[in-house]
Amino acid sequence: MLLRRRGQGSILTFVVAIALISTSFPTTAASYKIKQGDTLWEIAAKHHTTVAKLAKANHLRENAVLPLGKSIVIPGTTRQKEPNRRSTPSRQTSATAHTSADAVCLRAGASTNCRKIATLQRGTTLRVLYRNGKWAKVALANGVCGFVYRPLLAAGPGSSSPARSAETVRSAGVGCDTSSVVRTALAYRGSRYARGGTGRGGFDCSGFTRYVYSRFGIKLPHSSAAQAGTGTPVSKDDLQPGDLVFFQTGRRGISHVGIYIGDGKFVHASNHGRGVTVDSLGSSYYGPRYRGARRIR
């Protein structure tokens, strides 16, 4: 009887010890504070996760506008602070690679049925953001992103310089995913207005549209009037997200430009007091001053 009680006591002691050990290594979930210019795509790539997982973990839409200064949870990063414990390898990566064949297709999705963005020459250097089965999400030096069939990639930089690679994409007639254009544009909402500005330090109206489209390999002139001569004209009834919208805010022709985001609204670098913001095409100010739209592809 005494031996039995001692045995039960040993078991109880063992269970308590295990419980204490399990609580001695608290779990921590990584978080990230949203900064100016951040998008879910960039945050996901930086933390080796996917946009879908990031959006789900934070109850966000994949094209949501990210509030500056808010902290979001990075999924898949909960870990125990135990010594000598290696993390599980992720399918996401951020490595340099290059195309190992001629005429490699850069596509808008991970399928041969998806729209072809461009044809890349052999040796084109790119950055692998993450793997998706037999496909890889990649980014070129000029910011153009797409999917490439993984067997057509090799590790390390290629023989083509970044500038030459970017030029290859432009000459192939690169198009851009308009949802990505809108997502990128909205990521800069709240940025300050700067006359003549074309970068993160501040934008004027045409500098803002020029900067957003440059992220997709499309070069626009730094002038709202000059941008009104690019692309193809679009009627107001046929507006699509990503189209450039133009206004006459002064006495002499086109003097303001923004990017249409849908639902009758557009994002633009407004003025020194408001910076990059969203307004309605039907507002009392911009409605009467609307002068047309152009589609950039």
Beta carbons within 10 angstroms of residue 25's beta carbon: 13
Q: How far apart are CA 85 and CA 161, in angstroms?
A: 40
Name the residue among 118, 248, 224, 220 with its Cα closest to residue 171. Answer: 118
Helix axes 178-187, 205-214, angle to 10 degrees: 130
Name the residue among 191, 222, 218, 186 with its Cα closest to residue 206. Answer: 222
Instruction: Please work out, in degrees rounded to the nearest 5, the angle formed at the alpha carbon of residue 226 by the alpha carbons of 106 and 171.
Output: 25
Q: How far apart are CA 129 and CA 138, in angstroms?
A: 5
As annotated, the active-site residues are 205, 256, 268
| Beta carbons within 8 Å of 248's beta carbon, 6+ residues apart | 254, 255, 256, 289, 291
